[in-house]
Amino acid sequence: MKFLDEAKIWVKAGDGGDGVVAFRREKYIEFGGPDGGNGGKGGDIIVEAVPGLNTLIDYRYAQHFKARKGGNGAGSDRTGAGSEDVVLKVPVGTVVLAEDKETVLADLTAAGQRATICVGGDGGHGNAHFKTSTNRAPRRADKGYPGEERWLWLRLKLIADAGLIGLPNAGKSTFLSVASAARPKIADYPFTTLTPQLGVVRLNATEEFVLADIPGLIEGAHEGAGLGTRFLGHVERCAVLLHLIDGSQPDPVRAYETLRAELEGYGAGLSEKPEIVALNKLDAMTPQARASRVKALERATGRPVRLISGATREGVPEILRELADTIHRHRESQPA
């Protein structure tokens, strides 16, 4: 299934049904009086987060959604039938934005969560509604009220506890494959990973977390270079970022600074998130190179640098434990 994390759709709630003009006519009742009923309510447009979906591909080709109009009123003071709501099913983590792509209408972060985006119109009044002591036979009935309509942007932000970031060929896909049951495509050329990948990391029978692998960024990504930063939204909800740096490259400090500049250029608080820096491909470095590159990185980052190898799994269990502990602290700090 193709991965699609953004879609633009048009939605319209149903119009209200029309009220009617009707009069009661029965044998032996000389003055029947008005009995025109009200119109029914139009259907709402509702967005619901459901489990089992991880893409917005359903909204790639079907982009217009309209609820039905409410039923018209009838004689004998009968109200028209209300129309059924139209429910749009989206993946958990979907953000519903207005047409300006800035105003958040709903943020669906849990399965079963719903949001009414457009409200159906109320039905119009029938002439029975306008009967008074001085107006015994009104001949007025109102049309139904129009339902709301608007253009929407649906933007998916994957629900992950930890985000895996790094330049192309930093070894993110290999790390994800050894840390979880995910099986991303792995190859020795840049931009092998073209869409975000999710993996569930199980440390033991009771501890697990979700790790998201974000496709490689390059210098100028926040201005649209390479794949740009369109996938960085998937780590906005993460509690911690794991920054993998290719240890086989001669200048890991530049790689770190390049990616940090892209995070700051993107914004959304990514540059302030807790970060663990790991120098990957330990098996491809000489002891002298390890020592010099770790020292240079620690001086540039001002924090400890972990040495790991996704290929041989050296240092992987320790860094997964550190990620789990950071996520646990983050969850405890969140309000109940």
The binding site for Mg(2+) comprises 173, 193
Per-residue tokens: 21: 């003009």
Q: 306: closest CA among 262, 245, 256?
A: 245
- Contact yes or no for 179/211 (Cβ under 8 A): yes
- Residue 287, judged by CB atoms within 10 A of its CB (0-12, 13-18, 19+), counts as exposed
Residue ranges at the known binding site for GTP: 166-173, 191-195, 213-216, 280-283, 309-311
Which residue is associated with the tokens 């995070």?
263
Strands 208-213 and 162-165: parallel
> Please, are residues 236 and 186 in contact by the beta-carbon 8 Å criterion?
no
Residues forming the annotated binding site?
A: 166-173, 191-195, 213-216, 280-283, 309-311
CA distance 155 to 102: 11
Backbone torsions φ then ψ of 330, nearest 5 degrees: -65, -45
Computed over its alpha carbons, how large is the radius of gyration of the chain?
A: 29
Q: What is the DSSP string of 63-121?
A: -EEEPPPPPP-BTTTBPPPPPPPEEEEEETTEEEE-TTS-SEEEEE-STT-EEEEEPPP
Beta pairing, strands 208-213 & 6-12: unpaired
Distance, in Å, from the CA atom of 185 to the CA atom of 3, rounded to the nearest integer, reads: 15
